[in-house]
A and B are shown apart, each in its own frame.
Chain A
Amino acid sequence: MRSPLSNILLKIFSNAFYRAHAGMLLFAAFVLFGMVEPSQLLGYHITLMLAFISTPLMMLAVFAVWLLYTFKCWHFVAGQVFALHQQFLFYSISSYQKTKQFVAWFILQAAIALPVLAYAFIAVGVGLKHGFYFGPLVILVYCVLLVAISAWFYMRMINQLIDGSSQSIILKLTKSWKKPYFSLYIYYVFDKLKLKYVITKGISYLIITGVFLMFADVSHDLRVAGIALLAIAVSHSVLIFDERQFEETFLIFSRTLPYSRLQLFLSFWGVYFALLLPEAIWLFVRFSPLMAGGLLIFALSLILLFHSLLYRFGLNMEKYMTWVLGLFIVLFWVVMFRQIWALVCMNLMAAYGVFYLNYYKNLPYVPPAED
């Protein structure tokens, strides 16, 4: 029988994880299984598995992919844990014995890593059948380690006391700086969302490298860069959501301050420009200044559009992600048809329009019962 704890963890995180990543998993399944001639499918995979069991370099590559998948899990769970309606976890789970907590998080991680684990176990079976022993052992140890480290990471996260008095180094260093309103978002990211920010930048890096590897023969085509930036904007969607959540929670007072909507909209430009600095550097190193500036504005226009959508939907993650992915698919084709500059204008107009019409309206904030 499942303990009540792992029951609730699976309910909260596992279902949502598969819902949020259904597209990605289907795509991976298609690449792995759909692109091979059905009659050769079995042979192909057995060869593939034996190859990485027997070649250390291949094994490292496969391990790297699994590690990325694990990072994705961390990214997702961390994002969910700190969502406001999940805050009860902090004062419920932490009263369980540490071993029980660990087991429950272990089960959760195993559940969300099931696609990887299933593949790994089949590979272990294939390896053993073909007389390999060391490779399968390494794979098993690696898988257990990945799941255990994840469980430990989640457990640490939930048992960490929220210590408001400790400020991160960046905040200590900037103590004497004047902090204009819009900069609060940036400080928040460097105070509370450091890990998420680093992971997002890591994903950005992988996207850039991956897209340019894949299209190496046409890497000077503007469309390739456009698609990379589109993917980068999508990878920032969780960070954008967190920022809006921060605004709705801690910056509610800002609605009583006399800032105009244009002022606020322009300040978001500043925020996201600051957060996109690593990507901006890459763009300016790789492309001519004019092109790089244009591409950067393209990425910013997308991010601002995602940001504005949240004023329309409120903090509804599912609806938001559906729209982000839907837009990704549609805009992908717009980029393919070389309409990237028209797209920048449309994005910006749509972003400002949605923001302008909804900023004072349709507030997702519902006050708690009055006392």
Chain B
Amino acid sequence: MLQFVNYKKAYGAYPALQVPDLNLEKGIYWIKGVNGSGKSTLLKSIAGILAFDGDIVLDGNISIKKQPVGFRKLVNFAEAEPLFPEFLTGAEMIRLFADAKDAPKGQEAKYIESMGIQTYMDRPIGSYSSGMLKKLSLVLAFLGNPKLILLDEPLITIDTAALKILYSWISEQSRENGVSFMLSSHQPLDADELPKSETLLVQDQTLTAVS
């Protein structure tokens, strides 16, 4: 599903992360690591926010560097602490993402409803609490027809009820549409709520698969 080719990222003189050539199969991955280990760097690189050396290839032929647009159509991302223009409303953000990601019409409705954020949709984002903002960013990450969804610290800031709903979305997308997931988190994912997940460890500025 996802292939790292000679991946290397440094911030100036400081090496941030490297990934030896690694091939991930379809599935749900928990990215484990201590503070500053490079979890966010990894996810932001795959999301296309951070520049890096080497390449990342989706499904064997879609390279983030050679097909920057095609790759981004299929990979969605929710930031750990999202920042959106404060003057926009949630509904406007959703329309923007749905449009960019070619989401089927009305796709967002079920996500908005199950997260229970309908009432906030027409308010400017500047008035949102951090939990609301996080829920909105999670909805955005599920729009379109992604092959891979990256969630940076999805478990923080949202309440337990929302967490359960998020787990159900992940299970459903993984089961029905074969969507892969990469989630970073300090705590282990809930094995009762999710299909079997693999673990990736970020340690000493290197990513390795834990078997």
On A, residues with C-beta under 8 Å from B are 163-168, 171, 175, 178-181, 184, 187-188, 191-192, 246, 249-253, 255-261, 360-363, 365-367, 369-371
- Interface contact A164-B124, CB-CB below 8 Å: yes
Task: Return the contact of A252 from the options B36, B69, B83 (Cβ within 8 A).
Answer: B83
Some 9 contacts from A to B, beta carbons below 8 A apart, are A165-B124, A165-B126, A165-B127, A179-B92, A252-B79, A363-B49, A366-B11, A370-B37, A370-B38
Contact with A along B19-45 (1 / 0, CB 8 A): 000000000000000011111110010
Chain B 72-90 near chain A by CB (<8 Å), digits 1 or 0: 1101110110111111110
Q: Tally the A-B contacts, defined by beta carbons under 8 Å.
A: 106
**Which residues on A sit within 8 Å (CB–CB) of B84?**
250, 253
Docked pose: A180 CA to B37 CA in angstroms: 37
In the bound complex, what is the Cα–Cα distance between A280 and B36 (angstroms)? 50
Tell me if B195 counts as interface (CB < 8 A to partner A): no
Selecting from B95-103, B110-118, B160-168, the interface stretch reads B95-103
| Distance in Å: Cβ of A153 to nearest Cβ of chain B | 23
Determine whether the beta carbon of A168 is less than 8 Å from that of B49. no
The reply to whether the CB of B55 lies closer than 8 angstroms to some CB of chain A is no
State whether the Cβ of B153 lies closer than 8 Å to any Cβ in chain A.
yes
Chain A residues whose CB sits within 8 angstroms of the CB of B36 once the complex forms: 369-370
Known pairs A165-B127, A178-B95; A367 contacts B40 (CB<8 A) = yes
Shortest C-beta distance, A352 to chain B (Å), equals 16
Measured CA separation A188–B86 after assembly (Å): 9
Which residues from chain B contact A246 at a C-beta distance below 8 Å?
Answer: 85
* Given A188-B85, A188-B87, A370-B40, CB of A256 within 8 Å of CB of B72: yes
B50 at the interface (CB under 8 A from A): yes
A179 B96 Cβ-Cβ under 8 A: yes
- Contact call B87/A167, Cβ cutoff below 8 A: yes
Q: Is the CB of B77 within 8 A of A256?
A: yes
Main secondary structure of the interface of A (DSSP, over half): loop
* Interchain CB contact under 8 A, B153 and A371: yes
CB atoms of B80 and A256 under 8 A apart: no
Contact B51 A362 (CB under 8 A): yes
Q: Give B184 Cβ to nearest chain A Cβ, in Å.
A: 9
Contact partner of B88 (CB less than 8 A), chosen from A184, A255, A366, is A184
Query: CA of A246 to CA of B85 in the docked complex: distance in angstroms?
Result: 8
Q: Report whether A257 and B101 are in contact in the complex, using a CB–CB cutoff of 8 Å.
A: yes
Indicate if the CB atoms of A363 and B85 lie closer than 8 Å: no
Besides A164-B124, A253-B79, A361-B51, 19 more A-B contacts (Cβ < 8 Å) are A164-B127, A165-B123, A166-B126, A171-B87, A179-B95, A181-B100, A187-B88, A250-B83, A250-B84, A250-B86, A253-B77, A256-B48, A258-B69, A259-B69, A259-B72, A363-B51, A367-B41, A367-B50, A370-B38
At the interface, yes or no: B58 with Cβ under 8 Å from chain A? no
Closest 7 CB pairs of A and B: A164-B126, A165-B127, A258-B72, A164-B86, A258-B73, A257-B100, A191-B87
Contact in complex: B96, A260 (CB < 8 Å): no
Distance between Cα atoms of A250 and B82 in the complex (Å)? 9
CA–CA, A192 and B124, complex, Å: 14
* Shortest beta-carbon distance from A185 to chain B in Å: 10
Q: Determine the distance from Cα of A365 to Cα of B126 in the docked complex, in whole angstroms.
A: 22
- Report whether B101 and A258 are in contact in the complex, using a CB–CB cutoff of 8 Å: yes
A164–B126 CA distance with the chains assembled, in angstroms: 4
- Which residues of the partner chain B approach A191 to less than 8 Å between Cβ atoms? 87
A252 contacts B49, C-beta separation under 8 Å: yes
Cβ of B68 under 8 Å from chain A: yes
Q: How far is the CA of A181 from the CA of B100 in the complex (A)?
A: 9
Taking the nearest CB of chain B, how far is it from the CB of A28, in angstroms?
38
Which residue on chain A has the smallest CB distance to residue B46?
A256
Instruction: Tell me the smallest distance from the CB of A194 to a CB of chain B, in Å.
Output: 12
Distance in Å: Cβ of B49 to nearest Cβ of chain A: 5
| CB neighbours of A249 from chain B (8 A) | 83
Which chain B residues lie closer than 8 Å to A369 at the CB level?
A: 35-36
A183, chain B: closest CB distance, angstroms: 10
Q: Does B207 have its Cβ within 8 Å of any Cβ on chain A?
A: no
Please tell me if the beta carbons of A163 and B126 are within 8 angstroms of each other in the complex. Answer: yes
Residues of B within 8 A of A361 (CB): 51
On whether the beta carbons of B100 and A365 are closer than 8 Å, the reply is no
Closest B residue to A177 by CB, please name it: B92
**Minimal Cβ-Cβ distance residue in A for B86:** A164
Q: Are B80 and A371 in contact (CB under 8 A)?
A: yes
CA distance A191 to B37 in the complex (A): 38
- Chain B residues with Cβ below 8 Å from A180 are 96, 99
Give the residue name and chain of the A residue nearest to B12 (CB): A366
Whole-angstrom distance between the alpha carbons of A256 and B38 in the complex?
Answer: 19
**Bound-state Cα–Cα, A258 to B80, Å:** 21
Asked whether, in the complex, the Cβ of A167 is within 8 Å of the Cβ of B124, the reply is yes
Q: Which residue of A lies closest to B84 (CB)?
A: A250
Alpha-carbon distance A260/B48, docked complex (angstroms)? 13
Residues of chain B with a CB closer than 8 A to A255's CB: 47-49
Q: Tell me, in angstroms, the Cα distance from A92 to B70 when the chains sit together.
A: 46
Q: Nearest chain-B residue to A178 (Cβ)?
A: B95
Known: A165-B127, A178-B95. A256 touches B85 (CB 8 A): no
A85 to chain B minimum Cβ distance, whole angstroms, is 16
| Cβ-based interface call for B183 (8 A) | no
The answer to the question of B125 belonging to the interface, with a C-beta cut-off of 8 Å to chain A, is: yes
Chain B residues, CB < 8 A from A259: 69, 72, 100
| Cα-based distance from A225 to B40 in the complex (angstroms) | 50
When distances are taken between beta carbons in the complex, the residues of chain A under 8 Å from B96 are 179-181
